[in-house]
Structure formats: C-alpha cells, structure tokens
Amino acid sequence: MSDTRTKTGSVGIVETKHVTFDQEMELESGAKLGPIDVAYETYGTLSPAKDNAILIVHALSGDAHAAGKHHPDDKKPGWWDVMIGPGKGIDTDKYFVICPNNIAGCKGSTGPSSTNPRTGKPYGLDFPMVTVGDIVNVQKRLVDHLGIGQLLTVTGGSMGGMQAIQWAVAYPERVVSAIPIASTCRLSPQAIAFNEVGRRAIMADPNWREGDYYGKDIPAQGLAVARMVGHITYLSDESMHRKFGRRLQDRDSYGYDFSPEFEIESYLEHQGHAFIKRFDANSYLYITKAMDYFDLEREHGSLEKAFAQVADTRFLVVSFTSDWLFPSYQSKEMVKALNANGIDTTYFEIEMDYGHDAFLLESGELLVILRDFLDSVYGEIRDRE
C-alpha cells in the first residue's frame, strides 16, 4: 500500500446535501425555530465502526463547501481545501469529514433569508436570535441523523473554534478530541466593537429597511463596508506592509480627491463588492451577534468550571503570533483552564505574519500538526477496539 502521507490531492467533485428537521427546537433565548434546513457536505468514507468522523465547523462567512469543487470549471475549491483531502492534514483517505452550514447563514441552512413557514415570506428580522450553543445543537441533530455516536474530532478556526469548544463543553461524551484554531472562549471588547461597527454600517444603509429588503435593492453599500472593516481585522500590519505597502493603484501621483488611490484601498473595495454577491446582510448581523454572546466564563462562572466535565476529551489548541483579533493570550487562557482540569492538552503557537486569516492559508506547519495529532488520537481509538 502506498504512503499517502507524502502525496496530497483533492477530494474531487463534491455535492452539497440537505436535510430538514421538522421538529421545532427551543433556542437559548427561549424562542423556537423550525423546521430547520441544514446544508452539509461530506468527504471520505465512514468506517464500519463509525469511529473516524471529523466535524469541520466554519467561521463567520463560511459555508458547507470546505473542500473540492462543485464543477470542474470552478475557479476556486472549498474554503479549507488546503487542509482537507487525500494525504493532507485532515486526510480523507483515513477520515470521514462532515461540514455543515451554520443556521442563521445564507448558504442552504435556515437563516433570515429563508422562508418563514408562518408567513410564506423571508424571515428578515422575524428570525430569532441564535447563539453558538444553538448552532452546535443543530449540528448535533445532523450528526445523530448520520448515525454517528461519537466524533473523532471537532475543529474549526475563528468562530469555528468557538463551536469546537462548545461541542466539547456541551457534549463531552460525543467528542474524542477538539481542535480550536485561532479562537477564543469569549470575544474581547475590541472584537465586539468591530462587529458592532459592521452591523451599524449595514443598518445605516437606506436599503436595509429594518431587514425587509428581500426582492428589493439590497443594502449593498452597508454590507460592503462591514466586510471591509471585518477584513482589516483578519490581516496584520506586517502582511499589509508586505502585500501593499503605500503603493498607489494604477497611478504615479496623488489625485487629490476621495477616490481609492492606494492599493490597500482598492483591495478592500474589491473585498467588499465581492462579499455582497455571496452573503446576506441580515445573516451578517445575526452571526456576529452570536459571536458576541459566546462567553464560557459568564455562563459557567469561570473557564476552569466550564471545562470541569470535559475530562476525557483531548484538546489541540493552535494560535498565530500575528493574530490581533483573537490573540494568542486568549488561547493560552483556555489552555491554562484545561490544564487546571487535568485535560490532555497540546498547544502550538505558530509564527506567521498573515494575521487572523493564517488558519485559512497553506501552512506546512499547521498541516503536520493536525495530521500528527489526528493520527495519535485515532491510533488510541483503534488500539482500544
């Protein structure tokens, strides 16, 4: 048998699947939501023992399409294709990978743009507020639907890391290991502030219409500005210096007007305009608010108490030196609380100057870290069988 550890490839052409849960779910706010549609993709093959399942959970603007392509002519593969596939960090020759789209999103799972069964119209602001806990509870329904009793690991970056942590805290018996990457147990005031600026940009757009813009002109300018603000937080000072510096875009001298002149301005404008073509403004409001609400210390009294029931779940925590949105000190606080509970925890701080988005970029170091950790966890499982 060939050694796929040295050969990496794509999962190939994939399709997005859908499931509907008709039973209403009570949310943490006390509101109820149902029926609930969930879009998801799977890669690899579930083992006969069903012991090789990995749940990939996405960040704010992600979706179920984590790897491969939907069509051979697609210009880009899934959002974590660099890490998921044969021989990659999450090796689909070994593991069965599941990636759902979060509720409140706009990529196939129930969210503000979905049809409200009570009115026959899009929910808009009638969509109930959801939390990271609610998102995870829906994911649990999906895992149950797939007939999987225990997940080998739950992993994701940024908000995905929050979900991985929540899985381990809420369902420790269902999670063999958790890998939060570039994440935190609660947002800093600075991160909440940036989220609020983005929300206010959307709500200040005249086309927002209190969330009732479906079938009309969308709040494109507000959503574009929100994305521009958010994207700045995903980068780092070093990466912006290297990629753009103070270079001018398509000109040799200042224009002395307010049109975009610097390369960084043109880049952010491009990011904003690209975002409005693929994301819903109301979803941006709801998901950023869910991130703001996530706070294990507030919910449990302390991080140590939050992890008190997670004794049998192994943790791999990864942070990046240049991440100033979810800085490494937050990961270290998590590791300290895990260690205080005697939980098997491994921590890596990777030196990269790409900022928060480093977890999405090709990194040989992260690939090796994930691959070796998963090999170790899966090896222990197989030895016990």
Residues identified as active-site: 158, 323, 356
Can you give the C-alpha Rg of the chain in angstroms? 21
Pairwise CA distance, residues 123 & 52, whole Å: 37
Pairwise CA distance, residues 152 & 271, whole Å: 35
Backbone angles phi and psi of 272, in degrees to 5: -65, -45
**Interhelix angle for 159-170 vs 132-145, to 10°?**
70
Tokens of 195: 């989220």
Pairwise CA distance, residues 363 & 322, whole Å: 14
Residues 6+ apart with CB under 8 A from 327: 188, 319
Pairwise CA distance, residues 201 & 227, whole Å: 10
Q: Which helix (H) or strand (E) holds 208?
A: none
Do 182 and 320 meet the contact criterion of CB atoms below 8 Å apart? yes
Tokens of 373: 């950790």
Q: List Cα–Cα distances, 195 to 161, 284, 356, 361, in angstroms.
A: 17, 9, 15, 23
Q: How many CB atoms lie within 10 A of CB 119?
A: 10
Pairwise CA distance, residues 112 & 114, whole Å: 6
Tokens of 197: 């600026």
150: helix, strand or coil: coil
Pairwise CA distance, residues 359 & 155, whole Å: 12
Residue located via tokens 């952010």: 268
Identity of the amino acid at 161: G
